[in-house]
Structure 1
């Protein structure tokens, strides 16, 4: 787990999850390039890492343009002599239902999340291949990209797209010894604090109150709960892990499955519309896939914060595999 001598870039690391990632990578020994669009946040992040005893430098620029990607990589190389790890975390939200979502709402989220991930990974991968010593690409997804979420057409699209790109990059970069993985975090951030359901748990945790329901049933914790996975995937210990989508939050870590066929059926000559109308329900009815994240009800009383009965079943009846959107 020793990252001494390694150099990492973390986009969107001025605060929140990105800052937690950057600080943990530095704590493990890596020198870190911090990135944010806000000078104050970037400077404060660098100061926090240096106060912890680490090394950091800031690049203040919006993620998306190729020019920013080039600046991030050149800053890492010019300042610290090399590059080993890229964490693409930068993102924005423009939430609204489909029929109210503007072109700008959609394009802004696509530009920062999807294009920003692509341009930064392309630049980093090009350098890492030339450096010839392998490397680590860690891209941040979301449960929304895995299951969908009401009011987040743009966000669901980009987060699903990021995981799709990661699987492709794992194939393309394998010969160069570069791994590519997606992390699916669930944690309290400024974004989740805008949702009253989650803010109640964030406020309770900030006040030092135990929140086992949030940590176990919702997999909802702090940014620091996620940072250990980032450091692990950046390390030599994860050299054989690539093309994976790993979820983490609160007390839980989980491996998301890749999309796969769950039921198949064959008919000589193929399937007409009439054939499908007659047989679709009998073939697929019991296997149709759910959408959205299960959201169990919080416990009714303070002395029952687990949200489960003695058998381990959620009292709400919701699947225990569900987590909150981040």
Structure 2
């Protein structure tokens, strides 16, 4: 599990979960670049790592600023010559019900979470491909996976990161790049007012960070969604039921409604290895039904 000779970028690491991730990766032996919009906070965390004998750099940049992210990656390459690990942690909240939410707040949250992760990942992707090694973690959320009242913008961005992970894991496989998602629950500045006092005590950020180590080490999985909180870990999956052939015509919609329980039955569900499995299964089902007819 040790990460000696590996280098890592953790975004939004000036506090909360990002700080905990940076400290844990450093404890496991990685050299860590601590990113945050607040340069003082980033430097404090980097100094904390150096204070216990680790190697760390600090870099102030918004993950939505392509030029600043490119400069950050260049700074890391100048210092250490490679980028092995990227933990896309930076994020914000702008919670309101959808009826009261401005589109500006919707765009801002999607921009930071989704586009920020895409910008940072693309900045290191070529390096990882060339060195034939990389580990990328996207930070998703139960709000995206399962929904959360008042978080339409946040939930949309977080579920989009799952889709980004799914495709990048496929594209990165032959280059030794593994891409996963972490869905954390932790007491941070972002969860103030959302969780109860007792829950906040039980959900220390440090209890999530071992999950990051599991997703970035040498033998890490790929295309995994790891849910983590309070020292408890579970895996979420995007599944596909066996379904039922209905066909076409005027009665198709009525039959879907009648058969909806059968269509939804989870007895034969699978976790598709790639997106085209859906269409392959549909074509096969249609062919079988037509041959029977």
The interval holding the TM-score normalised by the smaller chain is: 0.7 to 0.9
Higher-RCO chain (CA-CA 8 Å, sequence separation at least 6)? 1
- Residues 33, 75 of structure 1: 8 Å contact kept: no
Q: How do 1:1-326 and structure 2 match up within 5 A? A: 1-130=1-130, 132-195=131-194, 197-202=195-200, 205=201, 221-238=203-220, 241-261=221-241, 264-269=243-248, 271-277=251-257, 279-280=258-259, 283=262
Structure 1 CA distance, aligned partners of 2:218 and 2:196?
35
- Residues 188, 198 of structure 1: 8 Å contact kept: no
Structure 1 CA distance, aligned partners of 2:261 and 2:118?
42
Q: Which 4+ stretches in 1 moved above 4 angstroms?
A: 284-287
Cα 1:100–1:175 change in 2 (3 A) is same
- Residues 9, 72 of structure 1: 8 Å contact kept: no
Q: How many residues align?
A: 265
Structure 2 CA distance, aligned partners of 1:169 and 1:38?
29
- Residues 246, 252 of structure 2: 8 Å contact kept: no
Structure 1 CA distance, aligned partners of 2:148 and 2:68?
30
- Residues 82, 127 of structure 2: 8 Å contact kept: no
Deviations 1:212-271 (A, max 9, x none): xxxxxxxxx211111111122221132xx101111111131111112323x522235455
Structure 2 CA distance, aligned partners of 1:253 and 1:266?
37
Structure 1 CA distance, aligned partners of 2:133 and 2:197?
40
Provide the TM-score with structure 1 as the length reference. Answer: 0.77
Cα 1:127–1:283 change in 2 (3 A) is same
Provide the TM-score with structure 2 as the length reference. Answer: 0.85
Cα 1:268–1:111 change in 2 (3 A) is closer
Structure 1 CA distance, aligned partners of 2:67 and 2:261?
54
- Residues 244, 263 of structure 2: 8 Å contact kept: no
- Residues 193, 199 of structure 1: 8 Å contact kept: no
Deviations 1:155-200 (A, max 9, x none): 00110000111010010000000100001111111111222x4334
Shift of residue 103, structure 1, vs aligned partner: 1.6
Moved more, 159-168 or 37-46: 37-46
Higher helix share: 2
Cα 1:275–1:237 change in 2 (3 A) is closer
- Residues 246, 256 of structure 2: 8 Å contact kept: no
Deviations 1:43-63 (A, max 9, x none): 211111111221111111111
Cα 1:276–1:82 change in 2 (3 A) is closer
Shift of residue 282, structure 1, vs aligned partner: 5.4
Shift of residue 30, structure 1, vs aligned partner: 0.9
Secondary structure of the structure 2 residue equivalent to 1:98: coil
- Corresponding residue number in structure 2 for 1:217: none
Cα 1:50–1:157 change in 2 (3 A) is same
Gaps of 5+ in 2: 267-293
Cα 1:189–1:282 change in 2 (3 A) is closer
